[in-house]
Amino acid sequence: MSAAAAPADCLTADGGVVRVRPVTAADVPALLALHEGMSVQNRYLRFFSAGAALDTEVQRLTRPADDQHLALLVERGDTVLAAGSYERIGPEQADFALIVHDDHHGEGLGTLLLEHLAAAARRQGITELVGDVLAGNRAMLRVSGDLAPGVPRGFGDPGVVRVRIPTLPDEAALAAVGERDRTAAHHSLRPLLAPASVAVIGAGRRPGGAGHEILAALQAGGYDGDLFAVNPRARDILGLPALPSVALVGEPLDLAVIAVPAAAVEQVVAECCAAGVRAALILTSGLDATVQAGLVRQARRHGMRLVGPDSLGVLNTDPAVRLTATFARTLPPSGGLAVASQSGAIGVAILEAAARDAIGVSTFVSLGDKADVSGNDLLAYWHDDPATRAVALYLESFGNPRRFAWIARALGRRKPVLAVQSARRPGASPADVAVEALFEQAGVIRTDTLGDLLDTARILVDQPLPAGDRLAVVGNARGLAVLAAGAAGAAGLTVPPFAPATADRLRRLAPGAVTAGNPADLGTGATASAMAAAVQVVAASGEADLLLVAYAATRTDDGAATLQALADAVDDATDLPVAVVVVGVTDPPATLGRRKVPVYRLPEPAVRALGRVARYAAWRRSPIGERPALGGVRATAARAVVDAAVHAGGGWQPAGVARRLLDAYGIPAPDSQLAAGVELVAGIAHDPLFGSLVTLGASAPTGPHGERVVRLLPLTDRDAAGMWRSLLTGAVPAGTAALEDLLLRLGRLAEDVPEIAELDLDPIRVLPDGCAVGGVRLRLCMVGAEPDPYLRSLRARPDTDDPGEPPP
């Protein structure tokens, strides 16, 4: 595999945008200037001597990359800010070195370089970067500590510390990467989502145009930052003086909303870049891929983030921000649901439904064509956003699915993430299967329809998570209660009977009740106080994890009084998620009580929503899983086998090549003489969108994926266990620990060797004393490096081959 790393646009610690790319011979003057500009003190800390031979060092950096050496630099525009390199010093070890411009310390450039060097070194079979650091070089020691927390350091010569950085990050290192990623995303997106100043470029004088309506919406929404209208053919618009150009704003500008004809967008973006605008929201549609590539290229060089083109706008309901930069007609109340939609029409539908059902929204972003800002960027931003308690997504494409899984899984441990994906049909495409696996691994709450997503969000935003799956149903409508109980099983919920003492208390509330079991039907004659008391009895019993209240109003009862009594009762049931079904009431409220308990018109949607909430809560309680250490892995040997095979033309490989590759990862060699046992097939498949996938299924599937279980990389121990558990039913066979180990080794092999186009181990027999492989088929081809989920980089420019996060 080539040692060269692809160029990537990345965020600095303060949210700025820089370019990380391989060093070339043309960089000699810039690198000399970087080294010559170092202070005497920093030169001593880097080279252990103030009189280092800088020409020799620059020659080393500009040597062509190969499997022994790689040098990268960080640039902003045409200015080189930092450089780093590694030199292989052993089969699996390399020595690293860094230099950062004196004026740019503290921006995280050294950490960023080491992350990219480690990722490139890992693809070469290097497992560890090492370096000697002076004990007084606190900055470098801090950088290495951030990348390898908990990794012990050694001591060589007096005053010298030997630091070690594993190229495959462990859980502590990944947590640190995630924190850096979120900090950078927050700083980068704040000008977009919480701008101190906004200019609407293309704000027309007449109502109906996008620019005019955005400006009107910003004013109507109460935005109290600095607001500007830009239109060279008007004197004032909606009471604001019109400026002929954004360059005349006269102060640093956070956000430019661009609503001009398609032919003018490139010029306007160029003017925004020159004026130092920090973020741009492009409403204009109809821009082709070439134009979008140019826009992103301009914006990245000047540190400006872009949303769109073809965006519906952004919304932030925080009272301190009150940003309504959208021309959607209906806006929801302030609340805890953050929304990202790639489709403008779906975005409008979500906002209208949220307003109708009183679902409070914190922020809304219409991504449009996703030329720059992506769903992954927003997930990183929302992770620490105090106003956001749940996230809803409608995405039509994933730039880097593995990165999405990593970010969403981390977010899902704090806040629920919901997404729409239609139910998988028989014969679904590999991409559909992979999306389903992506959501399952990341803990994303998948819904079949937009209505299901919003029904579920209504519970999650304002209520606690359940401790289990026990559903209690109480009310005065037996038919509704029976329907609710009947839907529970399919929703993954149980409806256990109440204990005799609880049933007796319920029976005393309404002596004429049909039943006091579960469901508890108090009868149509139940009073408001009896209904409220039943909620209190069940909530206090400890026998339910979720509660559904079914109320049917008639002409003989006081509907308003009953709803108020129920509102007071559910407010007291603070430990349970509650849903209320109300029929027979004209214009029933969307919610009840201070807790904003959602009111549904039918029981089945409510039960399905409660079931999703319970499954999410169970996922969140379960261990997240880890990538265990795997003994006997010889990545360098595998790399030699694969490089030789691909150089010879690739394609289907003879048995000897496959055996050597499997042996390098401790996977049992094929043996056609196998005893009896549970027969499976496992392997690796390469998908053009999702990268390498690990598969497990019944032997001899009917198609290329058949009914196999699929998981994305990286594979954790929890993923491996879940694969066979979702496939095998009935008695659990002995030897599953060995099967899990085999799957984990396949996962590590797939990560390290993306050239594997197809690998089938068929059959695999799970035996009481382990696993045995009967046959193997292997096809290799040059596919390039897999997108690294942990490498901090922005989505790829449409005109590059950066694997960080490809365009849709």
pLDDT at residue 108 tops 60: yes
pLDDT at residue 786 tops 70: no
Q: Taking a C-beta distance cutoff of 8 angstroms, is the pair 559, 584 a contact? A: yes
pLDDT of residue 422: 66
Mean pLDDT of 193-204: 97
pLDDT at residue 767 tops 90: no
pLDDT digits (tens, 9 = 90+) for 710-735: 999 889 999 999 999 888 876 677 88
pLDDT at residue 273 tops 50: yes
Q: Higher pLDDT residue, 731 or 321? A: 321
- Quote the longest CA-to-CA distance of the chain: 97
Task: Record the tokens describing residue 262, joined without a space.
Answer: 């398609």
pLDDT at residue 431 tops 90: no
Q: Taking a C-beta distance cutoff of 8 angstroms, is the pair 731, 725 a contact? A: no
Mean pLDDT of 593-602: 96
180, 316, 429, 628, 787 from 395: Cα distances, Å? 25, 20, 18, 32, 19
Give the best-scoring range by mean pLDDT among 10-19, 138-147, 169-178, 681-690.
Answer: 10-19
pLDDT of residue 427: 60
Mean pLDDT of 581-604: 96
pLDDT at residue 808 tops 50: no
Mean pLDDT of 513-534: 89
pLDDT of residue 795: 81
pLDDT of residue 727: 86
Q: What is the DSSP letter of 483?
A: H
pLDDT of residue 700: 58
Mean pLDDT of 122-126: 88
Of the pLDDT bands very low, low, confident and very high (cuts 50, 70, 90), residue 669 is: confident
pLDDT of residue 150: 81
Mean pLDDT of 123-152: 89
C-beta contacts of 727-736 below 8 A and 24+ residues apart:
727/680, 727/696, 727/697, 727/698, 728/678, 733/677, 733/678, 733/766, 733/768, 734/766, 734/767, 734/768, 734/769, 735/677, 735/678, 735/766, 735/767, 735/768, 735/769, 735/770, 735/771, 736/766
Of the pLDDT bands very low, low, confident and very high (cuts 50, 70, 90), residue 384 is: very high
Alpha helices in 48-137 (DSSP H): 54-61, 109-123
Mean pLDDT of 623-628: 87
Mean pLDDT of 453-470: 97
CA atoms within 13 A on the CB side of 586: 1
pLDDT of residue 705: 43
The percentage of residues in the chain with a pLDDT greater than 90, rounded to a whole number, is 74
What distance in Å separates the CA atoms of residue 798 and residue 801, rounded to the nearest whole number? 8
pLDDT of residue 731: 65
The percentage of residues in the chain with a pLDDT greater than 70, rounded to a whole number, is 94
From 67, 60, 57, 62, select the one nearest 4 (Cα to Cα).
Answer: 67
Of the pLDDT bands very low, low, confident and very high (cuts 50, 70, 90), residue 398 is: confident
Q: Which amino acid is at 90?
A: G
Comparing 190-194, 412-416, 438-442, 597-601, the range with the smallest average pLDDT is 438-442
Q: For residue 714, say if its preceding peptide bond is cis, omega within 30 degrees of 0.
A: yes
pLDDT of residue 790: 84
From 699, 702, 661, 693, select the one nearest 677 (Cα to Cα).
Answer: 699
Q: What is the DSSP letter of 21?
A: E
Beta bridge partners of 8: 20
pLDDT of residue 480: 95
Residue 249 has phi, psi (to 5 degrees) of -60, -40
pLDDT at residue 336 tops 80: yes
pLDDT of residue 146: 86
Q: Taking a C-beta distance cutoff of 8 angstroms, is the pair 653, 659 a contact? A: no
From 56, 61, 148, select the one nearest 99 (Cα to Cα).
Answer: 61
pLDDT of residue 110: 95
Mean pLDDT of 563-571: 97
Of the pLDDT bands very low, low, confident and very high (cuts 50, 70, 90), residue 170 is: confident
Predicted structure pTM score: 0.92
Comparing 372-386, 634-648, 666-680, the range with the smallest average pLDDT is 666-680
pLDDT of residue 802: 47
Considering the chain, what is the average pLDDT of its residues?
Answer: 91
pLDDT at residue 30 tops 70: yes
Q: Which amino acid is at 345?
A: A
pLDDT at residue 3 tops 70: no
Q: Taking a C-beta distance cutoff of 8 angstroms, is the pair 291, 234 a contact? A: no
pLDDT of residue 257: 98
pLDDT of residue 703: 39
Residue 501: how many CB atoms within 10 A of its CB?
Answer: 11
